Chains A and B, each alone.
Chain A
């Protein structure tokens, strides 16, 4: 065990002691004691760990070092305080007796400074390990380590130890006048300012019993933690229970979006429109000018007047457009021609020209130059990362492996070219770096740095100022126009303002500092060579000149920059305006013409045509109408005629096709009504012969007949078992066999079958009725209309059949309840996002009366919605189940 100890262990101990000596409160765990502590055999029987723990728990009052045997009684400290550093390792806990019992050694330091004297040597920076009576080997090691760390001679430690040992004797048994108490120490500072405070605290502490329990083992601590966490999380989860229950029990869940979208009409949106850009503002100016408004108010006629364009203007515009178009056309033609040229030299020249132009551009335009530089830098970085053109590729490696000399011209050239490219790329990188560095070197390094820093700071300052200036924009409409939002905005604004102000001050300060530094550095630039130091400025010299200069330069640059940007902006705007005009002009011209043309056409052409068509239509319709009328009339007439004809002809059609074949069963003859008039009454009275006979013999013995029928049916549906009989010749060899009769199993079987049949007959529905036969025949076709087994949630047939007794269709229910009866479990419109479930207070005992339950409302936090949309879906699907 001691062998496994980390080497560095004593070092921290030493350090701790050296620093902690002032505290007078120290603890060293048992583990560390392996080196120096006195080995002591444990007395008494070895107890299982669990038991010992129990004992510990019981006897917490007695001052026990840890779960170890008590130390010597010399440790008279009433309240020992332990600083827990590590959990009890498993070996020490002796879990399940898996580990050999190993003695523990430990240092015991008095906590309350009663033994403070012991620590005195630590103040002197000497070694003072108390129980230092360990083996020489360990000592050696320690000393060596100490030596290494402190760089002090070996004698210092050795001697210290010796001294210690000699000093040790009087300490432990205790000095005659007792240990030094806090009060002794306090007495010394009686007339110092904070004395009363300290005394009070000390008194308070004394009043309180200072018994501190030893820390629980890690396992139990974790167990406790877990239980607490469990409790907490259970509370957290249980909170949701009523909501979930309510949702589960709800017959229908609605997933609806908030319908309130605030502003939604086009008019409302249009009314909120505010011109922002230059163009928009101009438009607004024109539209909202009093003249236009008045014109609108009165009637449209005046607008036309306002719309008048000067002939000159139009002509001018047309000319301009023509010019533009011709220019464009020429340019296009030129481009075409150039594109067609195949000469390589020409293209090379072109390229060079372009490059030149671009370089010229770079000189003129710093932005483009910057872009270009960025691009180049990126390329270089890429090259450096990938080493694509170095000999790292498979191909290159292979060639090199084979030897360059063997290769042919082409490959060699390729390789060299690649390397060249690489060199080019990397060299360029170097060169740029070199340039910058050289310039830096040439100029004053730090000053430059400072200057750049100053620039940055200035820029930041500007920005902040700008922000401060711009902050005033508050939208006067929409959500932000609401009073509380406004208030919040104001607050926010103030906060930012404050922040910005602070930042600004900081900037200023740092700027000032920088300048100071500058000056300082200029003065003693030789001295400061390596690191730059940030700290309180010691030198408070000021070189006002320089500062002014700097300021001026700053201002100049600023103003320049501003003016430049302004110019740029202006230019841009002008250009843009031009473009817009051009575009509009281009757009406007032709379609207008077309429109005019078309309108003209319309005006010219359609008159007679439409008239003609209308005429045609009218004619047609009239004709049609007439014809249909005529047809209808004729058809009707025809129909009527036909029907009439039919009606008339029907009787005449087959006047002689009389049926002479008499009805075989009945004797009554068909008599032509028109021709013969017979005595109908008499005819009706006398029933046919067959009827008479049937009537005469029918009621003879109906009941007996019925009984017979019933028996037949019963026999058919539940056939009677055959009588047991032996195959002739079998079992009849001897008298004995014959006497025995049928074998008993046969008889038994027969009886069983008979009993079964009787039971079946008893079970029949018509068993009780003499006069009824109810067929037990199963209709296979109707079978498919029945459920083969009970549907899932039901467990009893009765409940199921009761549940389907009520029709739910619209034919059988009033209109109010039909929708409720047929409502699905989930109602959701397509496109509605299902939001995650939200917590709300639900009374668990409330009976939900209303059938409608809307699940989702406005969501307070949109981010949450996004992240857990999936989860919500899961929930929803669960609900569906």
Chain B
């Protein structure tokens, strides 16, 4: 018996080892960021050698990173564990709160603010601060770590949306006529009139761009570090207040009344992608952190999950949703009336319901927003705010070089400088950011640019000049004759290019004509400005 037991132990150990190995392999795979190119097909031996050495280094690096993960990512994400026939979506908040530690239990709250509702909320990227905007002009900023109210004030105007800028020091508010920027103390820093009556605000952290959509369906991008208006795009698709930024590539997604979802970048006046997602107006849209997953909800009682690489529906659920949000760990929250549902990926992007939360009857949930780095879902509703615990929603490990939820003011300043230094230019926003530095796809050109024609002409002329002349007798290869012939050759080479050049120019003779017409009578010529 003991022998058998030891055997089983050994087996178990082996299994455990194997599992660990598999996990390690997975991690390594993650860090090696794709496959190496097929070097066997390369003919250049030197390059082959260099690339092989490089690949080896990459392998080492990935392995080291995978091994370091154990130390750098110590905490595992939370989860709800049902026993037997229990379902996770049957767990009530009170029961969860009872079970969790004291610190976490404090994070769940309900705040009843009946007068200035309905409320929208926003979180800083590190998840520490929450901005609350009441429809009727109530603005408040809270430190969620200490549960402190930092600033609360009234703007006495309609507040449609609130958004933090790069940190809690500044935030933008879409008010009745214009968008405003306030600082932490509630001082009004800017009134952004160019945006018009903006309905929704989004901030692109990496690019320092404040994006807004106004009531005329105009999309504005403004660089908040320089104040420059980067883009002003007329969508031409009508008024909408459904806007979300894709955190992966900073492409903006807009949901329209025609059931369309369009994606935008600041350097392009046309939508990059237009998708017909719903048969009715789109009510909400959300992007996963990985950037390849999009969730849309429409009036046609559908919530759809899209794969943005294939532009195909992965899943479609029959449910209404006023707002959608993906958590850091990929949970999807949708609000419907006074009910909040949370879906979870149960493998292969098959989203199943994970939690349900029902507010007091009659409360209309406006926005749901997961708090970064916390297992918390913030809910802004018609009667105030509440936050509920959603185990396993937030990223349990934070990298202080990326985001620091408990940062000091010094660290904040440091980070501000860093992020400004590493600010990305607006043109780097593209559907596939990995395209940067790759080879430009060859495209057929209808018309060459002037410079290209010039270059080509130069080459042609050079070639014509360098052609070897045949040695001919009877004075036919005299220097003068040769020169003449060469000249002819050059002209011949030039001719067709000259034509192209002229065509490219468009109107070559117009200017001349104008100058001819302008000629003044002799008596008046002396008054003309600088004849010579």
Contact with B along A664-706 (1 / 0, CB 8 A): 0100101111100100110011000010001100110011011
In the complex the two chains form, is B57's CB within 8 Å of A673's CB?
no
Q: Give the complex CA separation of A249 and B61 in angstroms.
A: 21
Q: Is A817 an interface residue (CB 8 A)?
A: yes
Q: Is A800 an interface residue (CB 8 A)?
A: yes
Q: Is A364 an interface residue (CB 8 A)?
A: no
Q: Which of B42, B64, B271 contacts A817 (CB 8 A)?
A: B64
23 A/B residue pairs, CB under 8 Å, sorted by A: A248-B46, A251-B50, A665-B215, A665-B239, A670-B156, A681-B364, A698-B258, A699-B300, A702-B259, A771-B276, A772-B276, A777-B268, A782-B430, A785-B428, A787-B437, A788-B440, A790-B439, A795-B44, A799-B42, A806-B33, A813-B61, A813-B64, A817-B60
Q: Which residue of A lies closest to B259 (CB)?
A: A702
Contacts of B133 in A (CB 8 A): none
Contact with A along B124-165 (1 / 0, CB 8 A): 000000000001111000000000000001101110000000
Q: Give the complex CA separation of A796 and B37 in angstroms.
A: 10
In the complex the two chains form, is A673's CB within 8 Å of B51's CB?
no
Which has the most chain A C-beta neighbours within 10 Å: B43, B117, B156, B312?
A: B156
In the complex the two chains form, is A694's CB within 8 Å of B257's CB?
yes
Contacts of A695 in B (CB 8 A): 280-281, 299
Contacts of A796 in B (CB 8 A): 37, 41-42
Q: Which residue of A lies closest to B43 (CB)?
A: A795
Q: Is B383 an interface residue (CB 8 A)?
A: yes
Closest approach, in angstroms, between the C-beta of A129 and any C-beta of chain B?
62
Q: Is A801 an interface residue (CB 8 A)?
A: yes
Q: Give the complex CA separation of A680 and B117 in angstroms.
A: 7
In the complex the two chains form, is A782's CB within 8 Å of B427's CB?
yes
Contacts of A806 in B (CB 8 A): 32-33, 58, 61
Q: Which residue of A lies closest to B159 (CB)?
A: A670
Q: Give the complex CA separation of A798 and B438 in angstroms.
A: 9
Q: Give the complex CA separation of A742 and B20 in angstroms.
A: 76
User: With A702-B279, A769-B311, A785-B427 given, is the CB distance from A803 to B54 under 8 Å?
Assistant: yes
Q: Give the complex CA separation of A814 and B60 in angstroms.
A: 10
Closest approach, in angstroms, between the C-beta of B305 and any C-beta of chain A?
15
In the complex the two chains form, is A814's CB within 8 Å of B64's CB?
yes
Closest approach, in angstroms, between the C-beta of A779 and any C-beta of chain B?
5
In the complex the two chains form, is B275's CB within 8 Å of A786's CB?
no
Closest approach, in angstroms, between the C-beta of B107 and any C-beta of chain A?
26
Q: Which residue of B lies closest to A802 (CB)?
A: B37
Which has the most chain B C-beta neighbours within 10 Å: A668, A699, A777, A790?
A: A699
Residues of B within 8 A of A (CB): 32-39, 41-44, 46-47, 49-51, 53-54, 57-58, 60-61, 64-65, 68, 114-118, 135-138, 153-154, 156-158, 176, 185-186, 215, 238-239, 257-260, 265, 267-268, 270-281, 299-300, 311-312, 362, 364, 382-383, 401, 427-428, 430, 434-440, 443
In the complex the two chains form, is A684's CB within 8 Å of B299's CB?
no
User: With A680-B114, A790-B439, A817-B61 given, is the CB distance from A772 to B154 under 8 Å?
Assistant: no
Q: Is A709 an interface residue (CB 8 A)?
A: yes
In the complex the two chains form, is B60's CB within 8 Å of A786's CB?
no
Q: Which of A659, A703, A814 contacts B156 (CB 8 A)?
A: A659
Q: Is A204 an interface residue (CB 8 A)?
A: no
Q: Which of B156, B270, B311, B440 contacts A786 (CB 8 A)?
A: B440
> What 8 A-B pairs have minimum CB-CB distances, sorted nearest first?
A802-B37, A817-B61, A699-B280, A771-B276, A786-B440, A781-B427, A773-B274, A799-B37
Contacts of A786 in B (CB 8 A): 435-440
Closest approach, in angstroms, between the C-beta of A529 and any C-beta of chain B?
82
Which of the four size classes fits the interface of chain A? 35 or more
In the complex the two chains form, is B138's CB within 8 Å of A805's CB?
no
Contacts of B186 in A (CB 8 A): 650
Number of A-B contacts (CB under 8 A): 214
Q: Is A476 an interface residue (CB 8 A)?
A: no
Q: Is A479 an interface residue (CB 8 A)?
A: no
Q: Which of A772, A807, A817 contacts B273 (CB 8 A)?
A: A772
Q: Give the complex CA separation of A524 and B278 in angstroms.
A: 141
Q: Which residue of B lies closest to A771 (CB)?
A: B276
Q: Is A591 an interface residue (CB 8 A)?
A: no
Beyond the given A798-B38, A816-B64, A820-B60, could you list 4 further A-B residue pairs with CB under 8 A, ordered by the A residue number?
A: A671-B136, A694-B281, A771-B277, A790-B439
Q: Is A811 an interface residue (CB 8 A)?
A: yes
In the complex the two chains form, is B440's CB within 8 Å of A813's CB?
no
Q: Is A722 an interface residue (CB 8 A)?
A: no
Q: Give the complex CA separation of A82 and B116 in angstroms.
A: 128
Q: Which of B65, B138, B362, B439 contacts A801 (CB 8 A)?
A: B439
Q: Is A540 an interface residue (CB 8 A)?
A: no
Q: Is A651 an interface residue (CB 8 A)?
A: yes
Contacts of A811 in B (CB 8 A): 401
Q: Which residue of B lies closest to A657 (CB)?
A: B156
Q: Give the complex CA separation of A706 and B237 in angstroms.
A: 12
In the complex the two chains form, is A779's CB within 8 Å of B267's CB?
yes
Q: Which residue of B lies closest to A814 (CB)?
A: B64
In the complex the two chains form, is B427's CB within 8 Å of A779's CB?
yes
In the complex the two chains form, is A774's CB within 8 Å of B273's CB?
yes
In the complex the two chains form, is B311's CB within 8 Å of A775's CB?
no
Q: Give the complex CA separation of A651 and B443 in angstroms.
A: 61
In the complex the two chains form, is A804's CB within 8 Å of B438's CB?
yes
Q: Is A789 an interface residue (CB 8 A)?
A: yes
Closest approach, in angstroms, between the C-beta of B445 and any C-beta of chain A?
10
Contacts of B270 in A (CB 8 A): 713, 775, 777
User: With A769-B311, A787-B439, A814-B65 given, is the CB distance from A673 to B280 under 8 Å?
Assistant: no
In the complex the two chains form, is A677's CB within 8 Å of B115's CB?
yes
Contacts of A804 in B (CB 8 A): 437-438
Q: Give the complex CA separation of A798 and B439 in angstroms.
A: 10
Q: Give the complex CA separation of A191 and B61 in angstroms.
A: 94
Q: Give the complex CA separation of A545 and B247 in angstroms.
A: 119
Q: Is A329 an interface residue (CB 8 A)?
A: no
Q: Which of B54, B279, B312, B382 contacts A684 (CB 8 A)?
A: B382
Contacts of A674 in B (CB 8 A): 115
Contacts of B53 in A (CB 8 A): 251, 851
Q: Which residue of B lies closest to A772 (CB)?
A: B311
Closest approach, in angstroms, between the C-beta of A86 and any C-beta of chain B?
46
Q: Is A270 an interface residue (CB 8 A)?
A: no
Q: Give the complex CA separation of A786 and B215 in angstroms.
A: 36
Q: Give the complex CA separation of A716 and B179 in angstroms.
A: 35
Contacts of A670 in B (CB 8 A): 136-137, 156-158, 176
Contacts of A603 in B (CB 8 A): none
Q: Is A778 an interface residue (CB 8 A)?
A: yes
User: With A673-B136, A695-B280 given, is the CB distance from A663 to B33 under 8 Å?
Assistant: no
Closest approach, in angstroms, between the C-beta of B433 and any C-beta of chain A?
10
In the complex the two chains form, is B137's CB within 8 Å of A820's CB?
no
In the complex the two chains form, is A772's CB within 8 Å of B275's CB?
yes
Q: Give the complex CA separation of A651 and B42 in angstroms.
A: 73
Contacts of B273 in A (CB 8 A): 772-775
Q: Which residue of B lies closest to A768 (CB)?
A: B311
In the complex the two chains form, is B428's CB within 8 Å of A782's CB?
yes
In the complex the two chains form, is A821's CB within 8 Å of B428's CB?
no
Q: Which residue of A lies closest to B44 (CB)?
A: A793
User: With A695-B281, A814-B68 given, is the CB distance from A702 to B276 under 8 Å?
Assistant: yes
In the complex the two chains form, is A698's CB within 8 Å of B281's CB?
yes
Closest approach, in angstroms, between the C-beta of A252 and any C-beta of chain B?
9
Q: Give the complex CA separation of A658 and B157 in angstroms.
A: 9
In the complex the two chains form, is A702's CB within 8 Å of B274's CB?
no
Q: Is A794 an interface residue (CB 8 A)?
A: yes
Contacts of B153 in A (CB 8 A): 650
Contacts of A685 in B (CB 8 A): 364
Contacts of A238 in B (CB 8 A): none
Q: Give the complex CA separation of A779 and B251 in angstroms.
A: 14
Contacts of A800 in B (CB 8 A): 438-439
